[in-house]
Amino acid sequence: MSNTYKLGIVGYGGMATWHHQNMDRAPQVIPYAVYDIDPERTAIGAERGLKPYDSLDAILADEDIDIILLTCPNNFHAEYSIRAMRAGKNVICEKPVTMNSDELIEVIRAKQETGMHFSVHQNRRWDGDYLTVKNVLSQGILGEPFVIRSKVLGSRGVPEGWRTHKETGGGMMLDWGVHLLDQIVMMIPENIVRVTSRMYHTSYEEVDDGFIADFEFESGLVASVEVDTVAFVNEPRWIVRGDSGSMIIENWDIDGKIVRAADKNTVWEDEILYTSAGPTKTMAPRTRFSEETLELPVVKADWMEFYHNFAAVLDGTEEPLVLPGQNLYIMKLMESCFRSSDERRTIELDFTLEQLVQDPLSVAKSVEV
């Protein structure tokens, strides 16, 4: 095995094009072959220099290929991952890794049996807005956090096609939720104990066109994630409140600010805010002198780090960054969200991230007993 790895791409749509366009930034990985169920898409890949194949078996039989990139619809991820690993290929799988946790457990079994490297392209672990929030929290700039809200809103509805169907893994929880839940879990080093969620079904009954989900951590901190495709007025990407300050990140460009109490012991002067309906002392603004505004300590990163890490794992020089046990945890969190919404109640979690990372199949074993 050399220090460069040949990549075979399975499914050549929008995401595959994005990967392909960026591959020159990860010289360890060489785009090499393509197969799409639609021959026209395979042909487009071939025009762009990839060796075309007309079946999954054929591309998997190419002994030159080290890594299979799965950028096909979600309902193919599990089967194709398993077939690829059994054919001796390492696998990079797009998100969501599978349709549900049962499928993922089968994928993890195949990984353990074959010893191949399998990792999910959780590219949004390298988003600057998320890393900036993580940085602020880890530095304790806001004091003890008690509210974290992560929001991604659009007004175009769910894109037509497979995303609107349940059997192809459509809906916004699987599309965006899988990223935003992963960020929350990677950001807060605590166990989640309870989940309360609600799916929006504004346009589609079959799949959620948005959702809101509250994750309660052991400390009582609640992180909320919201996605909506029927929101005509945008809202900030992040709001975080701690006991000594708040943070806002407006958008993907990481515009925003931190506002903190300059004196923690508020002196109550006789300042009153007169609203049209009556006076309020509680909601009067602070004086300028008792708060300070800080610039965001922006952190930026590059999602190509995922590819560098994947190659380094194959080299034997790094541990993998995205672990199947983490994906299984997120998958089970998402399943808890669906259950919470269906049953209109809060779900108490009976699994932890640590448990699933250390022994992903522990969940499967307990089912088999």
Length of the chain: 369
Q: Does residue 197 contact residue 145 with C-beta atoms inside 8 Å?
A: no
DSSP string over 49-114: TPEE-SSHHHHHT-TT--EEEE-S-GGGHHHHHHHHHHTT-EEEEPSS-SSSHHHHHHHHHHHHHH
Q: How far is the CB of 62 from a second copy (least distance, A)?
A: 27
Judged by CB under 8 A, does residue 103 bind a second copy? no
**113/263 with CB nearer a second copy:** 263
Judged by CB under 8 A, does residue 219 bind a second copy? no
Residue 220 CA to residue 273 CA, distance in Å, equals 32
Identify the CA nearest to 201 among candidates 181, 223, 180, 230. Answer: 230
Write the burial class of residue 329 (CB in 10 Å: 0-12 exposed, 13-18 middle, 19+ buried).
buried
Judged by CB under 8 A, does residue 194 bind a second copy? yes
Judged by CB under 8 A, does residue 25 bind a second copy? no
Residues between 163 and 192 with contacts to a second copy, criterion CB under 8 A: 163, 172, 175-176
Q: Does residue 225 contact residue 237 with C-beta atoms inside 8 Å?
A: no
CA distances from 77 to 73, 99, 120 (A): 7, 8, 10
**268/289 with CB nearer a second copy:** 268
CA angle 92, 206, 156 (to 5 degrees): 75
Judged by CB under 8 A, does residue 24 bind a second copy? no
Q: Per-residue x/- marks for a second copy, 291-330, CB under 8 A?
A: x--------x--x---------------------------
Judged by CB under 8 A, does residue 246 bind a second copy? yes
**1/277 with CB nearer a second copy:** 277
Residues between 107 and 136 with contacts to a second copy, criterion CB under 8 A: 123-124, 126-128
Q: How far is the CB of 108 from a second copy (least distance, A)?
A: 25
The single residue among 37, 43, 46, 230 that binds a second copy, judged by CB under 8 A, is 230
Q: How many amino acids of this chain bind a second copy (CB under 8 A)?
A: 73
Q: Does residue 11 contact residue 76 with C-beta atoms inside 8 Å?
A: yes
Q: How far is the CB of 294 from a second copy (least distance, A)?
A: 11
Judged by CB under 8 A, does residue 96 bind a second copy? no
